[in-house]
Amino acid sequence: MRTIKNIVMFIGIVCFVFGCKNVLDLKPLDKLDSKTLFSSPEGIKVYMANLYSQLPIEDFAFGRNGFNSANINTIGIAPATQTDEAANSEYSHLVDGGGNYPWWDQGYKLIRDVNLLIETIPTLNLNEKDKSEIAGEAAFIRAYTYFALVKRYGGVPLITNTQKYNGEVESLKVPRSTEKEIWDFVLDECDLAAENLPETRTTDKRRATKWGAYALKSRAALHAASIAKYWSKAPLSGTAVTQKLVGIDAAEADSYYQECIKASEAIMNSGQFSLYKPSPATVAEAIENYRALFENPNAAPEEAIFVKGFTNPGSSGHSTDFWFNPNQTSDGSPHPGRMNPTLALVDLYESYSNPGVSAPVVTTNDGNVNDYNGFDKNKSYKTFNTPYDIFKDKDARLWATAILPGTEWKGKTIIIQGGYIQPDGTAKIETDESIVVNGIKYYTYGAAEWPQYSGFAVQAGNMTRTGFSFKKFLSKNAVPPNLGASTNDWMDFRYAEILLNYAEAVIESNYTADNAQLKAADAINVIRRRAGHKQNIPLSLTNVLRERRVELAFENKRYWDLVRRRDYHVLFNNTVRKALVPLLDLRENPVKYIFVRRNLSREAPLTFPVNFYYVSIPGIGANGLVQNPQY
């Protein structure tokens, strides 16, 4: 018996050992080599999809943990909360060492992947038209990637082929190009892309088109022009500056502005784009139109130029609804209420009765809007019957971007109240108390239990501390309380941004050819009319910049606007952001609401050091690159 077992075992071992042929030469069954992949159109499509997934799009899923980080616990710190647009309900947090997010290794990985594709195009089994489309798409991706690098690091090593290692490490080291050379490369790649890409797509509509390439060029050229123009607001020094690895000569500004104007005009003159629902009959309609545009950009093909899709909850969704619903409509999410629009942003929106200037929220009868010392019982406050009457006349986009105190959202009245003034004049602010006046019980936070209100309490860090909650991009429907559960798409480029880029470039460079001044004034006014404004305002830099901030709020533009215009270090220098605190005034009968403009509670003063305008270059010990200033 034993012998038989041994024999069987022996035969088994012999079979195993000699049954294998060339073990090390076997090809894995779950992977394709490049030859097979590129041999079919489907393979190229798969490769292209991978490139798009790596594209540094600053969408819903972008933040301090990087790109495509929807499933990471960000504690709700979004790019907007690192600017003056909003505060996080719990954390004062500005920037992690500049750059919004350091992005180097992944950038060069993507560049290598796209260079590999570009080198393969001549050998592809496709007709010439398809080949040139692929070439255009590759140029778009490469431009997008270098744009993401140059705006963070300044001039970077320009690598346009797949490097081969021949045993000589030194041959792989490429020194940094100047910042200008990289911007010029980005713009040239955009031109190449625009030349080769189709105007429209019938299938795969989210892939880049000619207009996507022009939109990218419009954004990039404006960025480069602003750096040239405003470099001197925060000049740096050192080797990187003398070698022009960071910074652009002021003399170059106008030519970049003109590149932006031309690229924007190409889109404006294409006849393919317009604003979504450009002439609402009422303000209420304007509010709903603007809100709906972001809830589903696919319903607005006339405005959306380049869209990133979010499809599968959990794997390719994002977490906007998870983090940013007000506390009362969290649908079970444990940490909602994280995005708190600031008073500075709310102030900015125009009023319908006094167009052309921002309309700060006036809370006192003396009209002083610069007093942030908190409630003072000797002051005479304006009284209101509701917590939202004070915003009545303001721009529709405020109502569609933020949830204002006492307004409806998802079938609930969102209660945001910071306290009350007792009949004897004692103020109870940001403390959990209640009082009975004339037989009615009043609560400091507007309701008895914390699930019933959304503001000011410290409860779990889920309450707004600015007095405003967030609305833009949120779904009106219930979303499961999981990370990555939101699936509305992201408009990376939309027509309104192109109009605003155009207007800014025209006014900044004082460009007058082709009636540009008139067209630029019209550009900001069509956007305003879509928001329910009837009166036009003149073209001025203040008007253009205000319009840009309110129209593109929370679209992750503000960070880079502050960087490129070198406004960050001025705006954030020991800066405490501001809140508007609604209080119930029990001295009045019937009770009224009053409002206090105040420094944000639990806020550390925030500062943006000037070296953050460029990110530190990683790995200079090994790659031998020149470091950016002050690192």
Q: Which residues pair with 594 in a beta bridge?
A: 583
Name the residue nearer to another protein (CB basis): 236 or 460.
236
Chain contacts with another protein (rule: CB under 8 A): 235-237, 241, 371-374, 573-574, 599, 607, 609-610, 621, 629-630
Of 351 and 623, which CB lies nearer to another protein in the complex structure?
Answer: 623
Residue (306 or 612) nearer to another protein, CB: 612
Rounded to the nearest whole angstrom, what is the least distance from the CB of residue 374 to another protein in the complex? Answer: 5
Rank residues 272 and 599 by Cβ distance to another protein and give the closer one: 599
Contact between 429 and 581 under an 8 Å Cβ cutoff? The reply is yes
Q: Report the C-alpha gap between 467 and 482 in whole angstroms.
A: 26
The answer to whether the CB of 360 falls within 8 A of the CB of 370 is no
CB of 125 to another protein, least distance (A): 49
544-99-616 Cα angle (round to 5): 140
Q: What value does the CA radius of gyration of the chain take, rounded to a whole number of Å?
A: 28
Element holding 82 (H helix, E strand) = none
Residue 468 CB, nearest approach to another protein (Å): 21
Q: Which is nearer to another protein, 131 or 233 (CB)?
A: 233
Q: Which is nearer to another protein, 362 or 610 (CB)?
A: 610
Output the smallest distance, CB 535 to another protein, in A.
Answer: 33
We find the least distance from the C-beta atom of residue 605 to another protein, in angstroms, to be 8
Give exposure, 71-96, as e/b (b: 16+ Cβ within 10 Å).
beebebbbbbbbbbbbbbbbeeebbe
178 or 607: whose CB is closer to another protein?
A: 607
- Rounded least distance, CB 308 to another protein, Å: 38
Specify the 3-state DSSP secondary structure of 129: helix
Tell me how far, at minimum, the Cβ of 195 lies from another protein, in Å: 40
Rounded-to-integer distance, Cα 259 and Cα 256, Å: 5
Phi, psi of 514 (to 5 degrees): 50, 40
Report CA torsion sign: 618, 623, 624, 625: negative
3-class DSSP state for residue 434?
strand
Least Å distance, CB 570 to another protein, is 10
HSE-up (13 A, CA, CB side) for residue 568: 27
Reduced to 3 DSSP states, what percent helix, strand and coil does the chain have, rounded to the nearest 5? 40, 10, 45
Strands (E), 262-382: 304-308, 339-341
311 versus 574: smaller Cβ distance to another protein: 574
Spatial CB neighbours of 185, under 8 Å, sequence gap ≥ 6:
143, 146, 158, 177
494 Ramachandran zone, left/alpha/beta (phi>0; psi -120 to 50): beta
CB of 432 to another protein, least distance (A): 22
**Helix residue ranges, H only, 369-510:** 396-401, 495-509
Name the token pair of 440.
Answer: 């009615």
Tell me the closest approach of the beta carbon of residue 607 to another protein, in angstroms: 7
